[in-house]
Each structure stands twice: as C-alpha cells, then as structure tokens.
C-alpha cells in the first residue's frame, strides 16, 4: 500500500534505535489486540460456495443467513456449505441426545461416527469424559438463505439447550484478522474503492473531525501527538507522519501542531474543571469501573499487557472545559470513537474531569524530541501535502493523489506496508511486521462481502466489551483490575456492601435479549435501567447499535426478534400469578412488579418483572428458569426444578410439569409488562 504525497517531504518517519526499543515492548500488545475477538474461538468453520472457500474461527456451531446476504465474511451471497470442526470437552460421562433446528440440511459426526436423527432427535449417545471430536456439515437451500442451531440434552444434568461455547475446546490459534487491521487503520480513506453494498461498515469510519481543534486541545499536546502518536496511546491507529528523531521532523511536528492550534470555532471558552471536586470524581472513576479500559492517570507507563488506554496526558491535552464536554458527548467530534457515552450528569462529568486533570498533572509522557517553535503557515502546507484531510474533516482538501486499492500491484515490498528502509514518503503505520505481512490483496473479498455477525465479533474486541463482561468462559478484565482503584474510596467510612455489583455476562446476550431491546440499550435510550442498583452502568455505543443488535443474535443462529404483542391467556396468567407469589415460588421476595417493591431483597435484587417481557426471548427464558446456573454459574437465582428428573418443585401445580409452570409464569409476566 503506497501513500504518495505530491510534495517531496524528506522527514517522513524511519525507525530510530530508541523507537525500535519502544516498539519491541509494544509488539505483544499488538498481538493481543489482533487476537482479542478470536480468543474465544474454538471451532474452525470452512465455508464453500462454488469454487471459493474461506475459513473462520467461531465460538458456537450456529448460523443465520438471510437470502441475498453473504453467509460469512469473504463469501458472496448464494448457496453454500459450511463444515464446523472442533472438540467437545466432557467433564464426566454423559448420555446425551442431540437435535437440530434448521432450514437446510445438517449432518453430524461425533468421534468420527455419523449421528442419525429420528423425528429430529438423535439416538442416545454415550460421551466419555475428555475430548470428543465433533463435525457439523450444513448445506444451505438453493437461494443461499438458511439457519441451524445444534442442541443437546442430558436428562440427569440439563434439559434441551443449545450446545454452549464452554463445551468446546481447540488447540488451534486463530490467525490475525487482516481485514479488521486494514479497516481499523483507515487504509481505504487514502486508497478508495467501490466495494458494493455488503462492504465492511468500518470502511466508512474516519478519524476525528478537526474543526475547532484549537478550542479543545493544547498546542504542546498536538505537537507531541503528531511526533509520535503511539507513544502517547500505544493502541492508536493514527500513523506517524513525521520522523521526530531528525531535526526537520521535529520542526514539522511543531509546525503542524502550531497550525492545528489556530483552528478555532469562534465559540467562547468554557470553564475549566473545579479541582476541588477531584475526590468525588475519584469515587466515580472507581464505581463506574473506568479502570477496565484505562490505566490510572498517574501510571508511569501504559498497560502493554492489557492494552488499556493511558490517562497520564489528560491535563496536557484538554483546554479549559473541553474535557467536561468530551465526557458528556465523546462522539461529538469523532463519531467512530471507541469511548462510549455514559450519559454523565453535569456533576459526574465535572468531578471526573477534575479528578483526571488533577491526578494527571505533571505525569505526562516526556517529549520524544526537542521541538523548536512552530510555524502555522508551514504547518498548514504540510497538512495538505500529507493528505491529512483523507481521514479528518475540518481541514483544507489535499492535493495528494493516491491509487485506487485495486490499482495497487505491490502491497508489501514498499510503501505503508513495506520495510522501514523502503517506505519512502509513506507514513509509519502502528503495525508489527507480522501484521503487515497478513494485509495482502487476499483481504479484498472480506472487505467486499461482510456480515453483521462478523462485524459484531470484531466490535466486541475493538470496543473492549469483555473488559467489563465475562465472555465465553473468560473473566472480565475488570474483575482483575478493579482493586487498583479501591483506595479512591478510602475516605468513605461507611458503604453498602450488600448489593451485588457483578455485570451480566456477554456470552448469551444475543440469545437472551430481543433485538430491539439490545439496539435501544446500545443507543443509550433504555429507561428505566434494568439494574438500577449497580454503581456501574451500560454506556451507549450509538454508531454500532443496529449492526451489533442483529449480530449478537446471529452468533446464536437466531433471527431478529421483538416482544410478542399477543394477549396472554387469562387462565395461564392466573396460575403464573400464584406461582410468583409467596404461596408459590416466592419470586416476589427478590423481584419488584412495576411499582410494587420486592418484599425482602436483602442481598441481591432481581430485575423488575414489569421489564421482563420486553427484554427476554422466550427460548432463553425457559432455559434460564430450568437451571439458572447452567447459564450464569455465580447467579443468586435459585433453581426451581428437581435435579433428578427436571420436574417442578411444586408437584401440586400443573402436575409438576416445570415447562408448563414456567410458561404460566411467562404469561403472567407478559400481563404486567409496562
């Protein structure tokens, strides 16, 4: 890939010895980020359509494809086959029945033996403890649409349920996602291409809008950022446009910083944070779990191992009250920013800004070079010649002409992806040698044929969803890092430790929640909050809401869903009301019903039943009710079925049929829905 500025700029970057040393420390982090989304993948799926084959790594054997849509990233729409291979890891001897829901045909092998189905159910199979190879082959209908979900049932252990991700293991390490690297580094902003209607959405994302950047950001930080962006933020996708180790490069950084500092909106300056609120802001920082995605503002160096975003440069970056405004609306000047919107109150934003400013003062990353005074006129000319407007709005259009992506004949021997000594006038991308090697013309089909399922998988990693949520058996990063900021509450003499503060796992979210509910949540428009007792709260990711709401369901082979509008059966409602009451299963002990409070939720509350119908998919609801700990091992929700035979604990109601009892409760919950 080649960026070919029109002017002869002689200070574009080469690696200095000091920078090489820094990059060597950074290499493990890049590998960590590249594998973040695929770290949970335990199945290898091979998709074939015609003479085209592509392979992907998945957590679940499930699929949902709409007619006219690609079946997987990198494959055009049309009829296809998909073969999933992996290993079922069985903790003890199971005697299971397998079953499939599908549109299209499914063939199953366990331990290399074909499994036959009678009336959509397999014979009873004995699975010994340890590893049991599994292979699922799905063949779509001729129109290329279809779906399948694989279920199993072990009558002594669990009722019929989708085979969970936790049941699979793999010894294969998924490769780097070349298409994701290409898209996230904004390569398409310089090297344009018409890729069609199923293009990766990320290809449309650009960098921050620099209109009025001088109102928000200090010149000294801008200069440091231009000189070496990955020094200030190791996870950045901003390339180094100058070689700060040479005098001409340091001068260029200063000139560009000086120019950007002149870009004003004409709006009056806002009031800087009141530093007397810093202690309260520290409380918010801890209680909101900010440490899951950020290292402490006073940290000596970035968290390379976990890829958390440093905060030690906050005080030198933000001018006046711009940090408060940023916390209130991170997307205002950068729609694709990964920082979510927490919908902070004025008090929260002001005190957090005070804490971050106060704590990071004097902790900034040292200047990477000696910077002379900058010249804004020269800086403006440099910005045009470096093609900065390709990624950033708010700048004069560039005069640079770059080749269409299909016109690039050599991606790896020179230019952006070439070795340092052959990069020429191209920028230094924040990529390792290994990452550069995988970005080849082979990524083009994945750029052109994308799916919301693949998009969601990428964004779960890019947006760091597993920093706060347990995911496919992996504990959240917050579980490990939260104690780092516990001292911020040392001044509080009395705290309420009764309320559980765990976040719901991400593992089952797409199977659990209706599509429209997920989308509304990600848009930041859910009211009331389902878990108002949590100090933490789910932030908004508005840019990603629609795609991820659908993609999370497709991870489980499910189509989009919304709550039923059918009127619940009156006789079922009556039975369900009895079951949730104190003479039934006493659900009202922990669960409120609209304005009627829970009777005795001393240690942990349950979600208000008035919200449940609009949230939960019925299939997940029944799976949850049968045995909650199968889905969330540390849940406080008790089990209301007999472990021996799965009957309800009230044999006098509906003949003890647990499924009928839970369905009656579901009808009642629908009757009280808001």
Q: What is the pLDDT of residue 184?
A: 95
Confidence band for 420, pLDDT divided at 50, 70 and 90: confident
Could you give the percent of the chain with pLDDT greater than 90?
80
User: Would strands 146-154 and 52-58 be described as parallel, antiparallel, or unpaired?
Assistant: unpaired
Taking Cα atoms as reference points, which of 220, 240, 241 lies closest to residue 231? Answer: 240
Q: Is residue 317 over pLDDT 90?
A: yes
Instruction: Return d(Cα 503, Cα 518) in angstroms, integer.
Output: 15
Q: What is the pLDDT of residue 23?
A: 38
Mean pLDDT of the chain: 90
Instruction: Return d(Cα 504, Cα 531) in angstroms, integer.
Output: 10
Cβ contact 624:641 at 8 Å: no
**Taking residues 373-396, what's their average pLDDT?**
96
CATH topology of domain 570-671: Cytochrome Bc1 Complex; Chain D, domain 2 (1.10.760)
Q: What is the pLDDT of residue 603?
A: 66
Q: How would DSSP label each residue in 222-262?
A: HHHHHH-HHHH-TT--PPB-S-TTSHHHHHHHHHHHHHHHT
Instruction: Return d(Cα 541, Cα 113) in angstroms, integer.
Output: 45
**Taking residues 406-413, what's their average pLDDT?**
85
Q: What is the pLDDT of residue 425?
A: 81
* Helical axes 570-580 vs 658-671, angle rounded to 10°: 100
Q: What is the pLDDT of residue 377?
A: 98
Taking Cα atoms as reference points, which of 268, 228, 230 lies closest to residue 245? Answer: 228
Tokens 């694989």 locate to 150
Q: Is residue 276 over pLDDT 90?
A: yes
Could you give the percent of the chain with pLDDT greater than 70?
92
Write the CB contacts of 119 (distance below 8 Å, at least 6 apart in sequence).
none
Q: What is the pLDDT of residue 118?
A: 87
Q: Is residue 299 over pLDDT 80?
A: yes
Q: Is residue 33 over pLDDT 70?
A: no
**pLDDT tens digits for 654-670?**
999 999 999 999 999 99
Q: What is the pLDDT of residue 535?
A: 84
**Taking residues 296-310, what's their average pLDDT?**
95
Q: Is residue 320 over pLDDT 60?
A: yes
Confidence band for 496, pLDDT divided at 50, 70 and 90: low
Cβ contact 340:539 at 8 Å: yes
Token digits for 271?
A: 């009031």
Q: Is residue 525 over pLDDT 50?
A: yes
Confidence band for 499, pLDDT divided at 50, 70 and 90: low
**Taking residues 558-577, what's their average pLDDT?**
97
Q: Is residue 473 over pLDDT 90?
A: no
Instruction: Return d(Cα 584, Cα 640) in angstroms, integer.
Output: 11
Confidence band for 306, pLDDT divided at 50, 70 and 90: very high
Tokens 């706060």 locate to 468
Question: Taking the C-alpha atoms of 502, 503, 508 and 514 in order, what is their torsion angle to the nearest 10 degrees?
Answer: 130
Tokens 């848009």 locate to 523
**pLDDT tens digits for 106-129?**
999 999 999 999 888 999 999 999
Q: Judge: domain 43-169, CATH 3.90.182.10.
A: yes
128 CB burial (10 A radius; 0-12, 13-18, 19+): exposed
Q: Is residue 592 over pLDDT 70?
A: yes
Q: Is residue 292 over pLDDT 70?
A: yes
**pLDDT tens digits for 218-260?**
999 999 999 999 999 999 999 999 999 999 999 999 999 999 9
Low-confidence winner among 178-192, 311-325, 597-611 (lowest mean pLDDT)? 597-611
**pLDDT tens digits for 165-214?**
999 987 678 889 999 999 999 999 998 888 888 999 999 999 999 999 99
Instruction: Return d(Cα 216, Cα 445) in angstroms, integer.
Output: 40
Cβ contact 554:547 at 8 Å: no
Residue ranges per structural domain of the chain: 43-169, 213-385, 570-671
Taking Cα atoms as reference points, which of 253, 359, 245, 364 lies closest to residue 302? Answer: 364
Taking Cα atoms as reference points, which of 132, 122, 130, 131 lies closest to residue 96? Answer: 122
**Taking residues 265-280, what's their average pLDDT?**
95
Confidence band for 16, pLDDT divided at 50, 70 and 90: very low
Q: Is residue 559 over pLDDT 90?
A: yes
CATH topology of domain 213-385: Cytochrome Bc1 Complex; Chain D, domain 2 (1.10.760)
Q: What is the pLDDT of residue 213?
A: 98
Q: Do domains 213-385 and 570-671 have the same CATH topology?
A: yes
């Amino acid at each position: 890939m080649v960026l070919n500025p029109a002017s002869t700029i002689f200070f574009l970057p080469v690696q200095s010895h000091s920078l090489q040393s820094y990059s060597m420390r950074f290499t493990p982090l890049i590998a960590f980020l590249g594998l973040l989304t695929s770290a949970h993948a335990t199945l290898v799926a091979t998709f074939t359509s015609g003479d085209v084959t592509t392979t992907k790594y998945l957590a679940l054997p499930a699929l949902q494809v709409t007619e006219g849509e690609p079946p997987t990233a990198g494959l055009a729409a049309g009829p296809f086959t998909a073969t999933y291979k992996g290993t079922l890891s069985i903790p003890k001897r199971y005697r299971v029945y397998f079953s499939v829901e599908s549109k299209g045909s499914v063939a199953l092998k366990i331990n290399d033996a074909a499994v036959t189905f009678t009336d959509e159910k397999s014979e009873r199979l004995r699975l010994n403890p340890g590893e049991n190879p599994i292979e699922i082959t799905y063949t779509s209908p001729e129109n290329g649409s279809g779906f399948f979900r694989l279920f199993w049932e072990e009558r002594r252990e669990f009722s019929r349920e989708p085979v969970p991700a936790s049941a699979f293991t793999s010894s294969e390490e998924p490769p780097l996602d070349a298409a994701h690297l290409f898209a996230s580094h904004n390569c398409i902003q310089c090297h344009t291409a018409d890729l069609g209607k199923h293009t990766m959405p990320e290809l449309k994302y650009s960098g921050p809008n620099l209109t009025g950047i001088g109102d928000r950001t200090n010149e000294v930080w801008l200069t440091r950022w231009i000189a070496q962006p990955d020094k200030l933020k190791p996870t950045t996708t901003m390339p180094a446009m100058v070689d700060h180790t040479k005098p001409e490069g340091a001068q260029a950084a200063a000139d560009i910083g000086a120019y950007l500092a002149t870009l004003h909106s004409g709006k009056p300056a806002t009031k800087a944070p009141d530093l007397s609120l810093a202690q309260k802001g520290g409380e918010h920082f801890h209680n909101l779990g900010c440490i899951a995605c950020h290292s402490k503002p006073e940290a000596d160096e970035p968290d390379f191992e976990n890829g958390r975003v440093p905060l030690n440069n906050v005080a030198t970056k933000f001018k006046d009250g711009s940090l408060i405004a940023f916390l209130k609306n991170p997307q205002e000047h950068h729609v694709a920013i990964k920082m979510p919107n927490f919908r902070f109150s004025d008090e929260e934003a002001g005190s957090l800004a005070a804490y971050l400013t106060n704590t990071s003062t004097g902790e900034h990353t040292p200047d990477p070079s000696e910077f002379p005074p900058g010249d804004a006129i020269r800086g403006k000319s440099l910005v045009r010649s470096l093609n900065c407007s390709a990624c950033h709005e708010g700048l004069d259009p560039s005069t640079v002409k770059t080749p269409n992506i299909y016109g690039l004949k050599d991606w790896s021997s020179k230019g952006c992806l070439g070795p340092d000594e052959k990069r020429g006038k191209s920028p230094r991308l924040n990529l390792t040698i290994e990452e550069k090697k995988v970005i080849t013309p082979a990524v083009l089909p994945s750029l052109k044929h994308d799916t919301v399922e693949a998009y969601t998988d990428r964004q779960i990693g890019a947006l760091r969803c597993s920093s706060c949520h347990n995911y496919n058996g992996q504990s959240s990063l917050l579980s490990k890092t939260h104690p780092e900021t516990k001292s911020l509450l040392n001044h509080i003499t009395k705290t309420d430790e009764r309320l559980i503060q765990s976040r719901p796992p991400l593992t089952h979210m797409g199977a659990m929640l209706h599509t429209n509910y997920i989308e509304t949540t990600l848009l930041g428009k859910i009211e009331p909050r389902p878990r108002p007792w949590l100090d933490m709260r789910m932030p908004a990711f508005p840019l990603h809401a629609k795609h991820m709401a659908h993609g999370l369901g497709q991870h489980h082979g499910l189509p989009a869903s919304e709550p039923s509008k059918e009127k619940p059966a009156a006789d079922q409602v009556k039975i369900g009301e009895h079951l949730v009451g104190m003479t039934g299963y006493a659900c009202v002990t922990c669960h409120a019903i609209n304005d009627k409070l829970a009777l005795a939720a001393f240690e942990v509350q349950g979600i208000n039943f008035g919200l449940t119908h609009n949230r939960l998919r019925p299939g997940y609801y029944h799976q949850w009710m049968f045995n909650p700990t199968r889905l969330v091992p540390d849940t406080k929700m008790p089990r209301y079925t007999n472990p021996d035979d799965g009957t309800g604990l009230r044999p006098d109601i509906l003949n003890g049929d647990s499924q009928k009892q839970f369905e009656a409760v579901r009808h009642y919950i629908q009757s009280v829905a808001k």
